[in-house]
Structure 1
Amino acid sequence: MSERDPLLHHDPERLAEVDKTTRKVGDERKVGPREIPRGTRYRILAGIWLATFLSALNQTLVPTMLPSISSDFNKSHQASWLGTSYLLATCTFTPLYGRLCNVLGRKRANQTALLFAGVGVLLCGLSSSMEMLILARFFAGIGGGGLFTTSSIIVSDMYSMRSRGLTQGIASIFNGLGLGFGGPLGGLITDWLGWRWAFLIQIPLFFLSFLLTEANLNYVTEGTGKSTKDMLKRIDFLGAGSLMMAVGSVLVFLSVHYNANLPWSHPACIISICSSGVFALTFILVEIFVSVEPVMTPFLLKQRIPVLVGCSNFLVAMCNFAIMYFFPMWFQTVMMTNASTAGLHLLPNSLSMSAGSVFAGWMMHKTGKYKAINLIFGVLPFIGAAAIYRLKEDSGPLQSWLSIIPMGFGNAVVLQTVLIALLVHIPEDQMAIGTGFGQLFRGVGQVGGVAISSAIFQANLQYNLSQRIQGPDAAETILKIRQNARIIGTLPLDLQRIARDSYNLSLHRVFFFAACSTLVAYLVRLPIPDKHLERKAPAPPQPPVLPAAALSVSDTTVVESPFDDNDDGSDSDSDSDEGGTREENILRPKGNISVRRRLSTFENAEDILSDITTHHAHAHAQGAQPHGDARDADGRPPQQ
């Protein structure tokens, strides 16, 4: 045997055995996210987008039901926690789902979020006390934020970078419809059947989403844990817990100081503000020194683009939720409309958000750019917030119904473009972590938008009412007006006028805060650079196999958008244009093939298998035996 002879001879029995082994491996191999058929992909999208619709619906469902809920339980002073408890859970647990998608896999992470959200909504409908309802909202928030994160990650798995903006834009239609229909649907069902049915009616839809993902979301990705112990080690429970306590302590301080009017020197204020500082410091130390896979992802904090995107998400979310939670209240308390009509004023915001998301995605898909549309349309939220700030009682229907449209359209464009800007500036294998990173800042901004704007509103309402209402029973009257907005319609006309004016001035301070937030967000985004989006993402790497095993693996097509897809079960590529069987076409050499001469045996297994595969393909193409240099004395090949 010479140095040019292959180490593995052409032994039919040996090759048959190897072929059998590789075929067995290939048959058991599960497909990747860009290899699944069109029908399966559409069913996956239907399942995850139905869940995100329900999650968005629950974010805006409660504000129009607050008067009815607080009246049933007679605890108006706790009503604000129905919104903040949901958002606290969302901002705390949402970043974990980026890690859970790598640890548990996409399917189990999505269904974990779906389970928490569904159980939380069911408990909301069955609650017998305000405390139980607040806890149920917290459970629903644990899953609600996770549904958004897992949905974004699954879409990013299945589509190329350039097409993600368009696909995420279509996904935002369902998000926008949920946010828009939450208010009017909550008010309508409350007036018709009662507030409990607004929660219970969602349960069949949660079950349908679970069935769709259970049957279709079965593609595999790298990085899943090997055992339960490995999975638990990789989840940053300590970081999530310290973050929850830090944000929760801030919410407690805002509640007791501004809603309950306790002074700074009160023990509740001192303990809550000190606790927030201690837990915030604990969170930072855990993320830097303790956690194996931290929620905050410290290496992203060292990069300029992720930090800018995070700050923008925080400020945009504050603006969005300050408007969505207090815009319907303006119509209920100042214009004296019913709950369903007040909630309907959020519908234009929903439709404009859906249109903005699709527009941004389509533009990025067509041009491969995102900065220009961000700069042009990113100023619209400030225009919309300024128009809302200028609302008056005598404003016509055009201003009262359409002033919110620029804010919804512009913020949708911003959120889509900054998500793509974040993903394009981090490695592909860090995509799930980067998505969770962006959602963390967005979740904290949602909590801040409700909590800070609530503190601004309550402080100004207390001041305005105190300046206008005097007398021995003034304190009791002011407390009733602050805690129950529905009482305004039953007040005497002179006192009703004072209450409406006080609510009007206080709510306009909230709208001014929202306008400032979105203006600062626009300035923060200016340094984010543009980067061309590739039309195709690289296909996932496949392990090298012998040609026989390759026959069992279908060809992979990179999917460009939900409308540009590989055929479902198509066999059109089974024969090439050159004729011949599939086996012959696979083995036919493409151009000149030279077998690399190995000068050292210190090589890995993939290189050796690659050489064997290339050598056999070359041998079949030339009509020679794999060990074709060995001939007898007459120059004829040896007999088999």
Structure 2
Amino acid sequence: MSESQPLLRDASVEEGSSISLADEVKPEQNYFSDVPNFFWIELSLLLNVFLAGFDGTITASTYATIGSEFKAFSSASWITSSYLITSTAFQPLYGSISDSVGRRMCIVFALLTFGIGCYGCSISKSMGFLIASRAFTGIGGGGLISLSTITNSDIIYPSKRGLFQAVQNLLLGTGAVCGATFGGFLTNCLGWRWCFGLQILPTALSLFVAIRSIPNQITFPHAEGPIYKKIDFKGSACLVVGLTCSLLVLCFGGNELQWTDWRIWVLVIVTVASTVIFFEQESHTEAIPIIPVNDYKSGFVVINIIFNFCVGLASYSYLFTLPLLFQINLGDSVAQVGFRLSIPAVATPLGGFAAGYLITKSRNYSRITILGTTLMAVGNGLSLLISEKLPKAAINLFLFPANFGQGLAFPSSLFLFVYYFDATKQASSTSTVYLMRNIGGVWGVTYISIVIKTVLKQNLPAHLAMLHRLSKEEIDRILAAILESVDILGSVDSDVKEVLVQDYTFALRITQAVSTACCVIALFCAIMSRKGRSYNC
């Protein structure tokens, strides 16, 4: 097989078809793909997905210990934020660049960067070096999931694609659960450095298999000339700078810096300028565009971009609000919170498997997306009813629909968007979907903190003053403590605790209402996209 040939044989794409590669190319003796070394390719790709899920949550249970060891607890949140910023900023580049240089080269680069970053984390001697290593890890981590999805789209028959996406979702969820669960265990037994060091061996294994087994397919064999002319360097730089600055605004604004701080405004100006230059560049570049904006002008595309942003925001907001609600309103311990969260953790891969089955049987992506988004809206709405007054069984039942719906909606909406385009655009369109979900996710996590801080600062001092026994200094101390940690609830008098719980719960209800509204907007977009495009499913 030539490295300039596609992994699957070319097939024409009919207008209105949701299938980019015709099923009639499938030889009778092969069930999933006609690509050599299919098993080993899948081993590498699925291992990459598991690593991405594992690494994405491993710091949730370790950053407090790491911050205490380095005596830099105030900077500990950047262990997670630095990875999130770089992975989100670099993720969309992998689609277009892999079209230029081939899938294998990009997968090898992502794994090398990821592995070197993990090694750097494991030997860090300072918080600054650890944060820098996490940022470096994110450059590679941003490509692990998207490249796996893109490569599977290249090599697997469309009729079987949903099944493998379901398996990919399962491994991503399993990796995330393992990272959150075993991170604390590894920290207690072996030390936090092993949380990063243990990822090096499976990364090396995946790298070896990728080099040996994955053909370096190039989607654009007709693009003649040197490779460097195919890569949109200016667009890449503008996109990375714009996304990084926008994420820094969300991370710093209202936290380390006031929204009126001049440094925030500088970041905003750089974000806007970089974004404008990026879109101008993508409209006229002679290289392979990172995001083909000239193809993204139809109503169908715009609606689906809004959809993916909304579901990304809603899913992250929902997941990060629940632990606080359980601790504040229900009075759960950390162990009890973990047990309750196991329900949505299981519901997501179950929804993914259901989506895979339904896609394989019907390939009606629109209906599956609408069903999943409806369940997300219902689940987010039900979370508004969770309180200590509800029976335990009802609370557990309410936790299932949103994540099961997410498992249905995410893969089906991905295919709905990707198969709108022909095969030469599917890598960049896949990156676009993940980019919009990631940006929505960052917004979802960030606005929770903004809403909580804003509501508590506005309401709590006045409500505590109504107790008529607390001085202004005591009120300020309580406010500062509750903004830092909910642990203060166990050390204050019952009347003060009641006020804290009431105001904190009110702030959480606002975030839940916003995530529910985003699900409703996403549902509207899903319905509109069905009307706007006809699919042969």
Q: TM-score, normalised by structure 1?
A: 0.71
Deviates more, 1:394-403 or 1:425-434: 394-403
Deviates more, 1:139-148 or 1:489-498: 489-498
Conservation of the 8 A alpha-carbon contact between 1:55 and 1:117:
no
Residue 289 of structure 2 is matched in structure 1 by 294
Q: Is 1:241 matched with 2:237?
A: yes
Distance 1:59 1:395 in 2: 33
| Equivalent pairs, count | 507
Residues 1:188 and 1:465: Cα distance change in structure 2 (over 3 Å): farther
Deviates more, 1:367-376 or 1:184-193: 184-193
Residue 402 of structure 2 is matched in structure 1 by 407
Residue 172 of structure 2 is matched in structure 1 by 175
Residue 184 of structure 1 is matched in structure 2 by 181
Deviates more, 1:29-38 or 1:108-117: 29-38
Residue 54 of structure 2 is matched in structure 1 by 57
Residue 210 of structure 2 is matched in structure 1 by 213
Residue 84 of structure 2 is matched in structure 1 by 87
Q: Is 1:113 matched with 2:110?
A: yes
Conservation of the 8 A alpha-carbon contact between 1:53 and 1:174:
yes
Residues 1:345 and 1:242: Cα distance change in structure 2 (over 3 Å): farther
Distance 1:169 1:409 in 2: 12
Distance 2:245 2:401 in 1: 35
Conservation of the 8 A alpha-carbon contact between 2:51 and 2:175:
yes
Residue 346 of structure 1 is matched in structure 2 by 341
Distance 1:267 1:403 in 2: 44
Q: Is 1:521 matched with 2:522?
A: yes
Report the Cα offset of residue 316 of structure 1.
Answer: 0.8
Deviates more, 1:162-171 or 1:249-258: 249-258
Residues 1:240 and 1:468: Cα distance change in structure 2 (over 3 Å): farther
Q: Secondary structure at the match of 1:526?
A: helix
Conservation of the 8 A alpha-carbon contact between 2:113 and 2:137:
yes
Report the Cα offset of residue 125 of structure 1.
Answer: 3.5
Residue of structure 1 aligned with 2:266, choices 249, 263, 271: 271
Conservation of the 8 A alpha-carbon contact between 2:3 and 2:217:
no
Deviates more, 1:387-396 or 1:151-160: 387-396
Residue 478 of structure 1 is matched in structure 2 by 479
Report the Cα offset of residue 175 of structure 1.
Answer: 1.6
Residue 581 of structure 1 is matched in structure 2 by none
Distance 2:112 2:251 in 1: 30
Q: Secondary structure at the match of 2:388?
A: coil
Distance 1:28 1:450 in 2: 42
Conservation of the 8 A alpha-carbon contact between 2:318 and 2:515:
yes
Structure 2, unpaired ranges of 5+:
10-29, 465-470
Q: Secondary structure at the match of 1:368?
A: coil
Residue deviations 1:460-518 (CA, integer Å, cap 9, x gap): 23334433455224434432332244455455665555544444333332222221211
Distance 1:436 1:490 in 2: 48
Describe how 1:325-474 pairs up with structure 2 within 5 A: 325-335=320-330, 337-339=332-334, 341-469=336-464, 470-474=471-475
Distance 2:463 2:412 in 1: 47
Residues 1:208 and 1:508: Cα distance change in structure 2 (over 3 Å): farther
Residue 137 of structure 1 is matched in structure 2 by 134
Report the Cα offset of residue 381 of structure 1.
Answer: 0.4
Deviates more, 1:72-81 or 1:513-522: 72-81
Conservation of the 8 A alpha-carbon contact between 1:97 and 1:150:
yes
Residue of structure 1 aligned with 2:228, choices 229, 232, 237: 232
Conservation of the 8 A alpha-carbon contact between 2:50 and 2:174:
yes
Distance 2:499 2:125 in 1: 35
Conservation of the 8 A alpha-carbon contact between 1:350 and 1:408:
yes
Residue 37 of structure 2 is matched in structure 1 by 40
Distance 1:298 1:459 in 2: 37
Conservation of the 8 A alpha-carbon contact between 1:348 and 1:404:
yes
Q: Per residue, is there more helix in 1 or in 2?
A: 2
Q: Is 1:146 matched with 2:147?
A: no
Conservation of the 8 A alpha-carbon contact between 1:188 and 1:340:
no
Q: Secondary structure at the match of 1:520?
A: helix
Distance 1:457 1:253 in 2: 18
Q: Give, as a single letter, the amino acid of the residue that structure 1 aligns with 2:258.
A: L
Report the Cα offset of residue 157 of structure 1.
Answer: 1.3
Report the Cα offset of residue 317 of structure 1.
Answer: 0.9
Residues 1:401 and 1:200: Cα distance change in structure 2 (over 3 Å): farther
Report the Cα offset of residue 525 of structure 1.
Answer: 1.4
Q: Secondary structure at the match of 1:262?
A: coil
Conservation of the 8 A alpha-carbon contact between 1:172 and 1:354:
yes
Conservation of the 8 A alpha-carbon contact between 1:84 and 1:447:
no
Superposition misfits of 4+ residues, deviation over 6 angstroms: 26-31, 34-39, 224-227
Alignment root-mean-square deviation, CA: 3.2
Report the Cα offset of residue 194 of structure 1.
Answer: 4.5
Distance 1:398 1:124 in 2: 42
Residues 1:177 and 1:426: Cα distance change in structure 2 (over 3 Å): same
Conservation of the 8 A alpha-carbon contact between 1:180 and 1:349:
no
Report the Cα offset of residue 315 of structure 1.
Answer: 0.9
Residue 599 of structure 1 is matched in structure 2 by none
Q: Secondary structure at the match of 1:345?
A: helix
Residues 1:474 and 1:199: Cα distance change in structure 2 (over 3 Å): farther
Q: Give, as a single letter, the amino acid of the residue that structure 2 aligns with 1:379.
A: T
Deviates more, 1:231-240 or 1:68-77: 68-77
Report the Cα offset of residue 447 of structure 1.
Answer: 1.9
Q: Secondary structure at the match of 1:127?
A: coil
Residue of structure 2 aligned with 1:305, choices 287, 300, 303: 300
Q: Give, as a single letter, the amino acid of the residue that structure 2 aligns with 1:58.
A: D
Distance 1:222 1:496 in 2: 60
Identity of aligned residues (%): 24
Distance 1:517 1:27 in 2: 46
Deviates more, 1:433-442 or 1:407-416: 433-442
Report the Cα offset of residue 318 of structure 1.
Answer: 0.9
Deviates more, 1:87-96 or 1:247-256: 247-256
Residue of structure 2 aligned with 1:161, choices 158, 161, 165: 158
Report the Cα offset of residue 95 of structure 1.
Answer: 1.2
Q: Give, as a single letter, the amino acid of the residue that structure 1 aligns with 2:236.
A: A
Distance 2:534 2:187 in 1: 48
Residues 1:259 and 1:210: Cα distance change in structure 2 (over 3 Å): same
Residue 197 of structure 2 is matched in structure 1 by 200
Q: TM-score, normalised by structure 2?
A: 0.84
Report the Cα offset of residue 151 of structure 1.
Answer: 0.6
Distance 1:69 1:431 in 2: 41
Distance 1:299 1:214 in 2: 34
Residue deviations 1:390-433 (CA, integer Å, cap 9, x gap): 22234443344443321111122111112221232211222222
Q: Secondary structure at the match of 1:295?
A: coil
Q: Secondary structure at the match of 2:295?
A: helix
Q: Give, as a single letter, the amino acid of the residue that structure 2 aligns with 1:60.
A: T
Residue deviations 1:163-191 (CA, integer Å, cap 9, x gap): 21222122211122223343333344445
Structure 1, unpaired ranges of 5+:
1-25, 535-640
Distance 2:3 2:199 in 1: 38
Report the Cα offset of residue 532 of structure 1.
Answer: 4.5
Residue deviations 1:587-611 (CA, integer Å, cap 9, x gap): xxxxxxxxxxxxxxxxxxxxxxxxx
Distance 2:388 2:65 in 1: 25
Conservation of the 8 A alpha-carbon contact between 1:32 and 1:220:
yes
Q: Give, as a single letter, the amino acid of the residue that structure 1 aligns with 2:162.
A: G
Conservation of the 8 A alpha-carbon contact between 2:291 and 2:428:
no
Q: Give, as a single letter, the amino acid of the residue that structure 2 aligns with 1:356.
A: G
